[in-house]
């Protein structure tokens, strides 16, 4: 039985193949990773907005005795959403009578920016209703 030795030209053809494949796939992987981070940031902002609206509504439900319960409720929502900055818009609807509802809705603009390109813009929105005590 004869033994075959590998051909030198065949070995040279496959050198660096993994590096080339990695170089071709790396940009796509990085794009996906950046998109995941951006989505995470928008989701964090949504959770912050929802929590701030819930906290503000609770404060508003017990603020009927104040001279400006609507202004107080808006201020409490903005104070709870300090991480979002100044772009938050808050609306408060209520008659401020005991047993009636107080409804707080807030919106916050967002944009998903992937490598300097704005992919999506819009407004995050959250609405909560509680009974005035």
- pLDDT tens readout for residues 8-28: 555 556 678 888 889 999 999
Residue 133 DSSP code: -
Dump pLDDT digits (tens) for 107-117.
Answer: 999 998 887 88
Q: At what angle do helices 69-80 and 17-61 cross, to 10 degrees?
A: 160
- The C-alpha R_g of the chain, in whole angstroms, comes to 28
Q: Give domain limits for the chain.
A: 17-131
Of all residues in the chain, the percent with pLDDT exceeding 70 is: 90
* Distances in whole angstroms, Cα of residue 48 to Cα of each of 41, 44, 77, 113: 11, 6, 10, 19
- Closest by CA to 104, choosing from 114, 115, 94, is 94
Are 78 and 87 in contact by the 8 Å Cβ rule? The answer is no
**Over residues 25-53, mean pLDDT:** 94
Predicted model pTM:
0.81
């Amino acid at each position: 039985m004869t033994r075959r030795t590998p051909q030198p030209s065949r070995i040279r053809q496959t050198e660096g193949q993994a590096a080339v494949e990695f170089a071709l796939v790396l940009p796509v992987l990085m794009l996906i990773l950046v998109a995941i981070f951006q989505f995470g940031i928008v989701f964090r902002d949504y959770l912050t907005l929802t929590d701030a609206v819930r906290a503000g509504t609770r404060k508003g439900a017990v603020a009927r005795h104040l001279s400006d319960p609507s202004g107080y409720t808006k201020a409490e929502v903005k104070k709870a959403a300090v991480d979002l900055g100044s772009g938050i818009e808050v609306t408060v609807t209520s008659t401020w009578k005991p047993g009636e509802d107080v409804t707080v809705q807030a919106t916050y603009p967002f944009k998903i920016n992937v490598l300097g390109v704005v992919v999506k813009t819009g407004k995050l929105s959250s609405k909560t209703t509680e009974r005035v005590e």
